[in-house]
Chains A and B, each alone.
Chain A
Amino acid sequence: DQQVKQNSPSLSVQEGRISILNCDYTNSMFDYFLWYKKYPAEGPTFLISISSIKDKNEDGRFTVFLNKSAKHLSLHIVPSQPGDSAVYFCAASAGNNNDMRFGAGTRLTVKP
């Protein structure tokens, strides 16, 4: 069962515009959410996280929004840059890392 879903396999945006990547989850026990970024031939790297007590967390150009009632989170990248082109994975956990569940990823392409 896929408890974390990223319904858009790919997204293409123009440089300088906003990129919005979406993620839905089904398990209401999840209380910690993360985004990872993966370049080709590299392992995923941690990007940003949010705990369920917040609805927004910002780090430079990256902002994660959490809507607990809708069981939805999104990652906003503003402004998008060509170097942001990568696969973005959403993850959620309910306390321990062995409970962490991952989405299938969204491939973001930022065009110059």
Chain B
Amino acid sequence: DGGITQSPKYLFRKEGQNVTLSCEQNLNHDAMYWYRQDPGQGLRLIYYSQIVNDFQKGDIAEGYSVSREKKESFPLTVTSAQKNPTAFYLCASSLSLNTGELFFGEGSRLTVL
């Protein structure tokens, strides 16, 4: 059945290390997104991609990088430049950038030790 798969669900990182979170979808959606959730706050957009080989910064892109080499995949790298990386990360997709409803993965919780 179709959906979005994020991995890993839990990840621990030492300060100074880069980590990559995986996001794969088999919904044939053009648009994909990465959000960050912190306690007491709404989801905040990190990066989004409207189509393969294209991506744009969201509201809090500093310290993150992405790639969109395949339609199905939109990995997020949390770099050592991200000052406060401990958070819950959600990947989402939609049919296109303006179709409204987002489909979310189960999330990845990153903890920096």
Contact = CB atoms under 8 A, between A and B. Distances in A.
A93 B105 CA distance: 20
Interface stretch (A43-51, A55-63, A64-72, A76-84): A43-51
A43 B33 contact: no
B4 interface: yes
A98 B105 CA distance: 17
Contacts of B101: 34, 46, 49
A49 B98 CA distance: 14
Interface of A: 2, 4, 9, 32, 34, 36, 41-46, 49, 89, 91, 93, 95-98, 100-105
Contacts of B54: none
Interface residues of B, number: 28
5 contacts: A9-B40, A43-B106, A45-B104, A97-B33, A97-B48
Nearest to B41: A104
Contact of A32 (B41, B43, B100): B100
A34 B100 contact: yes
Nearest to B93: A97
A104 B40 contact: yes
Interface string B73-97: 0000000000000000010101001
Contacts of A34: 100-101
Given A93-B100, A97-B94, A103 B42 contact: yes
Interface string B48-89: 100000001010000000000000000000000000000000
B98 A102 contact: no
Interface string B15-48: 0000000000000000101010000111111001
Given A41-B106, A43-B105, A43-B106, A96 B41 contact: no
Contacts of A102: 35, 42-44
A105 B88 CA distance: 14
